Amino acid sequence: LGSIYIEAFINFPDYSQYLNENQAPDSSGVLIEIEAELPSYKNDTSVRPVNSRSIEVTPYDTYRLLLNTFGGESWKRSGSTVYYEFSVPEDGMYCISLRALQNTRKNFSVFRRITINDTVLFEQLNEVPFDYSTDWQNIPLGGDTPYKIFLKKGVNTLGIEANNSPYYMPIEKIKKVLLDINTLSLEIKKLTGNQVDPYKEWVISDYIPDLKERLIAIADDLRVDKEVLAEINAIDGSQEIQTYQMAIDNIMFLAQDPDKVPIHLNRFSEGSGSAAQLLGNLLPLLESQPLALDKVYIHSPDTSPEETKVPFYLSMMEGIKRFINSFKPDPYQSIRAGADELEVWVNRPRQLVDLLQMMTDESFTADTGIRVKFSIMPDESKLVLANAANIQPDVALGVSTNVPYELAIRNALKDLRSYEDFDSFIQIYSPGSFLSYIINDSVYAVPETQDFWATFYRKDILNSLGIPIPKTWNEVIEILPELQRYGMNFNTPLSSGSGTKGYLLTAPYIFNQGAELYSEDGFSTGLGSDEAITAIKFMTDSFTIYGMPLTTSSFYNSFRYGSLPIGISNVETYIKLVTAAPEINGLWGLDLYPATVLPDGTQNRYATGSAQASIMFANTDKPEEGWKFLKWWMSTNTQVDFQQQLILNFGMEYLWFSANMEAFTYLPIPQEHKDVIVQQWQWLQEPVKLPGSYMEERELSNTWNKIVFDAVNPRVAIDSSIIIINREITRKMEEFGYLQNGVKVKEFKIPTIETVEEWMANAK
């Protein structure tokens, strides 16, 4: 930062005033055509060229996908600007036309701010509208009477900036109204508690005398903004205007009889059709300003660009050609890597694979001479099939955490700990992240990305209710009655998902009570211990006694609209809140996973955190090259570069939570959030896998379901599951050669966090 200047605001001149101040002859015969997908520079790297198969755009190819347009959905954030440099042959007046398409927001106008040489020349260029259209159009700035703009001979720069300022008032008003709705809803809940009986009569106006006036004031605010939108978007039928009207109708319905508001909160602040949710969904739509460009024209007033019209028969012929061509083999598709290439399959979207290929070519291959070929793996079950057919890759990335063990136990994976520098390499990881990849003293995968479980809480709601942030499960139980009195609750991971509760959700309860999943030798379950029984009992009592929600269809939505103002969730919720809930920015926070307090005062916060891993196959003929690649890929420099490139190219929606804890500290998220996540990762503990462990995972879920839904005695449910688990572990141990006729013939070592920490401490 060099200097900061504070200057008086100067109004932009009107177009007529601009013409009077810039008297110059019209240029003649000039037509400069610029391909929009080739800007000179831009201020937002996530705005990028995109492909269009329309025959109306250039360049166009019948058989190949070309990056032939610019922007679209990637160019929607207000302030994102693209610049085009061009040269004119002489001083004079010129016109500017854009070949544009806005087909994503029906009956809605998006806006762009136009600058010439970093200056807005007159007021009308501040907010240039682009209306909805299904076809590409040449749109001159100024419409039917194009603006004449004075340009000096030589190089000039055109800036086109996404601009949502025409919607500034509605955007700010929605944020205010949502806070008003939330405040009023809390006031009502403080009076009515958790009473939603439709036959119970309330005289709520005795306690909130101005309730009707406040509802009408909210509706009046929305009406003013609706009129602003209607004035901007003259065409009827806009989804945004209809959403406004639905929210107004809900609020006016409540204003007719304020005493019935408590039984109609589903139309006010709760539920998918409530005024709060309608407005919350509308907010990002108003902030978003998507527009696609094909060409930019700088031309003389007497030389307009010709409109491209494609005959129907030509469009039909192109479709037929592409259809016939679809039966031909793809000349760009190579099934296998070359003999001198390391083959890597990646279980991630194409844009991430393309970025990874580019980074590898520019850095890893350039430094080591090892060529790497990446292929997209749309279904990771193909790894098992490929291994059976002996066509597996050398390395696979983005593999789900449950896959490495199943391959490793069948001798399909390379033992990465066989490399001398493995123990020193893993210093960048949380020790507990390796436990599900270890068999005896061998490690068959390295973590690639990492999840976290933490407490999300709404600052505004909890402060209003005077409820503290719980640090332990005992404190969670203490605040539950107060939350439930207002129709709210505390969300747990067990409340979400399907009927099957996997280890990711159930194992932390076992760990935090000091129990073990298995016996010391690994040949039977550990669920029969007193600690494990205590853990399972608390896991079920949370729902049967303390009334935590059995099912939560979407914690993100419930948290956003205040019905679940606190709860435990993970990365998925975090990214949604950061990128898709602007109305509660600054109103929520993160804290550690609640601690389980043991009788001796020990506090445990163990939680799972697995996401994806990287593996190397045992049959690779390039083991040294593969290990060098894995070390390069998970190194701090590479991970930092990759996560920064993802955000720069695709936005914050692509936050990359690297398992490399050093690299994670460079992620551009608030420091207070980063501190909580790093601290929680100190408690990361993955469940150990062993032959037959899937049965324990399944039976632990079945036990929870039996106790919670069927009211089975916990001891009976656990004892029944122990028999099933031990029988399956014994069967699988015999299958893999650890037991023979019920007699132990080979030891099975259960890995622990201390095991991995010892490896790290003794690394050479």
What is the reported pLDDT for 225? 86
Question: How far is 139 from 99, CA to CA, in rounded Å?
Answer: 6
Least Cα distance to 402 among 597, 608, 545 occurs for 608
DSSP string, 280-325: HHHHHHHHB--EEEEEEEEE-TT-PPPPP---HHHHHHHHHHHHHH
Least Cα distance to 451 among 502, 490, 400 occurs for 400
**Please, what is the average pLDDT of the chain?**
91
**Kind of pairing between the strands at 31-35 and 291-299:** antiparallel
Element (H, E) at 679: helix 671-681
Average of per-residue pLDDT across 536-554: 93
Amino acid at 396: A
Q: Does domain 15-164+290-312 fall into CATH 3.40.605.10?
A: no
Residue 126's alpha-carbon distances to 165, 179, 228, 294, 716, in angstroms, are: 9, 30, 17, 22, 72
Question: How far is 726 from 524, CA to CA, in rounded Å?
Answer: 5
- Topology of the domain comprising 341-449+610-677: D-Maltodextrin-Binding Protein; domain 2 (3.40.190)
Q: Are 511 and 685 in contact (CB under 8 A)?
A: yes
Question: How far is 432 from 515, CA to CA, in rounded Å?
Answer: 16
Average of per-residue pLDDT across 188-205: 79
Average of per-residue pLDDT across 637-646: 94
259 has a pLDDT exceeding 80 = yes
Average of per-residue pLDDT across 682-695: 94
DSSP string, 75-144: S-BTT-EEEEEEEESSSEEEEEEEEEE--SSTT--EEEEEEETTB--SGGGSSEEE---SS-EEEETTTT
Amino acid at 564: L
Average of per-residue pLDDT across 121-126: 94
| Residue 357 region by backbone torsions, left for phi larger than 0, else alpha for psi between -120 and 50, else beta | alpha
Amino acid at 494: L
Which residues have CB under 8 Å from 25's CB, separation 6+? 92, 93
What is the reported pLDDT for 142? 92
Q: State the pLDDT confidence band at 199, using cuts at 50, 70 and 90.
A: confident
Question: How far is 354 from 376, CA to CA, in rounded Å?
Answer: 10
Amino acid at 407: L
206 has a pLDDT exceeding 70 = yes
- Domain spanning 454-609+686-761: which superfamily? Periplasmic binding protein-like II (3.40.190.10)
Percent of the chain with pLDDT over 70: 98
Percent of the chain with pLDDT over 90: 66
Instruction: Please name the residue ranges forming H helices in 426-469.
Output: 459-465
What is the reported pLDDT for 265? 84
What are the pLDDT digits (tens) for 437-455? 999 999 999 999 999 999 9
Query: Where is average pLDDT lowest: 235-244, 252-261, 350-359, 360-369?
Result: 235-244
Least Cα distance to 104 among 75, 140, 65, 80 occurs for 75
pTM confidence score: 0.88
What is the reported pLDDT for 661? 95
Which residues have CB under 8 Å from 251's CB, separation 6+? 215, 218, 219, 222, 268, 275
What is the phi/psi pair of residue 739, to 5°?
Answer: -125, 150
Q: State the pLDDT confidence band at 272, using cuts at 50, 70 and 90.
A: confident
* CA pseudo-torsion sign 420, 426, 431, 433: negative
- In 10 A of CB 385, how many CB atoms? 11
| Residue 394, token pair as written in the block | 């050398």
Question: How far is 386 from 448, CA to CA, in rounded Å?
Answer: 22
Which residues have CB under 8 Å from 103's CB, separation 6+? 132, 133, 134, 292
Q: Three-state secondary structure along 135-197?
A: CCEEEECCCCCCCCEEECCEEEEEEEEECCHHHHHHHHHHHHHHHHHHHHHHHHHHHHCCCCC
Question: How far is 692 from 201, CA to CA, in rounded Å?
Answer: 57
What is the reported pLDDT for 437? 96
603 has a pLDDT exceeding 60 = yes
What are the pLDDT digits (tens) for 56-79? 898 988 888 888 999 999 999 999
331 has a pLDDT exceeding 60 = no
**Kind of pairing between the strands at 371-376 and 341-346:** parallel
What is the reported pLDDT for 1? 66
Average of per-residue pLDDT across 199-221: 87
Query: Where is average pLDDT lowest: 337-346, 566-575, 622-631?
Result: 337-346
Question: Any idea which residue has 């108003």 for tokens?
Answer: 286
Average of per-residue pLDDT across 122-146: 93
What are the pLDDT digits (tens) for 552-582? 989 999 998 888 999 999 999 999 999 988 8
Torsion of CA 635, 641, 644, 648, to 10 degrees: -150
What is the reported pLDDT for 30? 94
Is the omega angle on the peptide bond into residue 481 within 30 degrees of 0, that is, cis?
no
Residue 314's alpha-carbon distances to 69, 306, 602, 688, in angstroms, are: 21, 18, 76, 62
Q: State the pLDDT confidence band at 332, using cuts at 50, 70 and 90.
A: low
What is the reported pLDDT for 333? 57
What is the reported pLDDT for 589? 96
What is the reported pLDDT for 235? 67
What is the reported pLDDT for 190? 83
497 has a pLDDT exceeding 70 = no
Q: State the pLDDT confidence band at 593, using cuts at 50, 70 and 90.
A: very high
Question: How far is 573 from 576, CA to CA, in rounded Å?
Answer: 5
369 has a pLDDT exceeding 90 = yes
